[in-house]
């Protein structure tokens, strides 16, 4: 078997472009597109050309850097006005993944720390900060992977949902980072990937990136996970997260809550792997997490094919909230929060 070509989720293209792997086209086509400003970046986030909480944050940071580069020759008031529009358009792209807002806050801090700086220098500082966010994300995922790998037994069957892999981050992945690190440490792991209706991040993306790494993967319809847990040995479930509230409640791809309930019923450990940038301690619990609702067209058919009766009512939430009591542990880059609750989350984040 010839080794698959390495891929990247996003990368800066000098002097001022953001190259992303267009995930809407995977696994059929591996096509990279270049984004030139904040609006194009926001459109790519909204349309899921780039998706996954940490990757959305990284893309948004670069979206600001792109806009800064475009206006670097302007006077400071015009530069500031252009950047305000960029922050607004990016913040409106998707509501649930807090990494988006976390990254925009980091970029804004660069602006507020450079009140008397020229637009040219500021554009450099903003690009440097975006690079830093990306580098930190990869490093966090690798550390998370090391903590998480210890929880994976040799010969494990691991069930996951959606795509929390290299494609959802700047590299390595969160939930799939745990799998990758376990495999790198010499353990044998078989991944079961929920297909993840309606956008099929599991069937299309998780299966694609694991196959490229030579990690055994079996795709199943979402509705089969209960039967899977009853009839085959599943050692653990590991998923990513889009936002974790102060009490440890976890928002992730729609269907994650179902999986957590099933895991509880079958005595299977349910792990969440996410970086500190996914915690939103400003929210008391998961009920305050904004849940994105997406277009009915994702549910009624695919492309030009429509399989529901015309004008049928559709409910299409992109995320759900799993209560902390169903989470065995949250794996972060700074350690594992066992049986997460308000105090343990606070203690980990303070450390
Ligand atoms: O709608 P998506 O594809 O952006 O949803 C992605 C997820 O729900 C992931 O599990 C989550 O963002 C964690 S990615 C490391």
Note the pLDDT tens digit of each residue in 270-307: 999 999 999 999 999 999 999 999 999 999 999 899 99
The domain spans of the chain are 10-141, 145-350
CA 86, CA 90: separation in Å to the nearest integer? Answer: 6
- On average, the pLDDT of the chain sits at 97
Cβ 169 under 6 angstroms from ligand 1: yes
First to last CA, the chain: 45
| Band (5; pLDDT cuts 50, 70, 90) | confident
Length of the chain in terms of residues written: 351
Cβ 242 under 6 angstroms from ligand 1: yes
| Band (2; pLDDT cuts 50, 70, 90) | low
343, containing H or E segment: helix 342-350
| Band (314; pLDDT cuts 50, 70, 90) | very high
Q: What is the distance in A from the centroid of ligand 1 to the CA of 109?
A: 26
Q: With pLDDT > 90 as the criterion, what percentage of the chain qualifies?
A: 97
Active site residues: 242
* CB-based contact 267:72 (threshold 8 Å): no
Residue 156 clears pLDDT 80, i.e. is over it? yes
Hey, which CATH number is domain 145-350, 3.40.50.300, 3.40.50.10470, 1.10.3720.10, 3.40.630.10?
3.40.50.10470
| Band (248; pLDDT cuts 50, 70, 90) | very high
* CB-based contact 90:42 (threshold 8 Å): yes
Name the DSSP letter for residue 287.
G
191, containing H or E segment: strand 189-194
pTM above 0.75, yes or no: yes
* CB-based contact 208:175 (threshold 8 Å): no
> What does the pLDDT read at residue 204?
98
- Structurally, what CATH architecture does the domain formed by 10-141 represent? Up-down Bundle (1.20)
Residue 71 clears pLDDT 70, i.e. is over it? yes
> What does the pLDDT read at residue 3?
64
- Average pLDDT of span 331-338: 98
Cβ 161 under 6 angstroms from ligand 1: no
Q: What is the distance in A from the centroid of ligand 1 to the CA of 250?
A: 12
| Band (6; pLDDT cuts 50, 70, 90) | confident
CA 93, CA 49: separation in Å to the nearest integer? Answer: 12
């Amino acid at each position: 078997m010839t080794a698959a070509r390495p891929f990247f989720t996003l990368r800066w293209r000098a002097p001022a472009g953001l190259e992303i792997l267009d995930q809407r086209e995977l696994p059929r086509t591996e096509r990279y597109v270049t984004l030139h400003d904040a609006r194009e970046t926001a459109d790519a986030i909204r349309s899921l050309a780039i998706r996954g909480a940490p990757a959305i944050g990284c893309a948004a940071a670069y979206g600001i850097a792109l806009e800064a580069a475009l206006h670097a020759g302007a006077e400071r008031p015009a530069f500031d006005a252009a950047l305000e529009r960029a922050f607004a358009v990016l913040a409106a792209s998707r509501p649930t993944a807090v990494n988006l807002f976390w990254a925009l806050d980091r970029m804004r801090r660069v602006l507020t720390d450079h009140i008397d700086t020229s637009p040219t220098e500021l554009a450099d500082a903003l690009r440097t900060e975006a690079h830093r966010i990306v580098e930190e994300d990869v490093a966090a995922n690798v550390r998370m992977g090391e903590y998480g790998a210890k929880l994976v037994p040799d010969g494990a069957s691991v069930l996951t949902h959606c795509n929390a892999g290299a494609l959802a981050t700047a590299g390595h992945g969160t939930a799939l980072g745990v799998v990758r690190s376990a495999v790198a440490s010499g353990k044998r792991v078989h991944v079961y990937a929920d297909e993840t209706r309606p956008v099929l991040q599991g069937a299309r993306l998780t299966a694609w990136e694991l196959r490229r790494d030579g990690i055994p993967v079996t795709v199943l319809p979402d509705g089969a996970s209960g039967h899977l847990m009853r009839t085959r040995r599943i050692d653990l479930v590991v998923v990513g997260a889009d936002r974790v509230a102060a009490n440890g409640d976890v928002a992730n791809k729609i269907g994650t809550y179902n999986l957590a309930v099933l895991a509880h019923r079958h005595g299977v450990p349910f792990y969440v792997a996410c970086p500190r940038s996914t915690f939103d301690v400003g929210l008391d619990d998961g009920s305050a997490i904004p849940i994105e609702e997406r277009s009915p067209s994702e549910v009624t058919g695919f492309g030009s094919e429509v399989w529901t009766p015309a004008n049928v009512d559709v409910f299409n939430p992109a995320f759900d909230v799993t209560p902390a009591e169903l989470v065995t542990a949250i794996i972060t880059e700074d350690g594992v929060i066992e049986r997460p609750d308000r105090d343990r989350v606070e203690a980990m984040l303070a450390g």
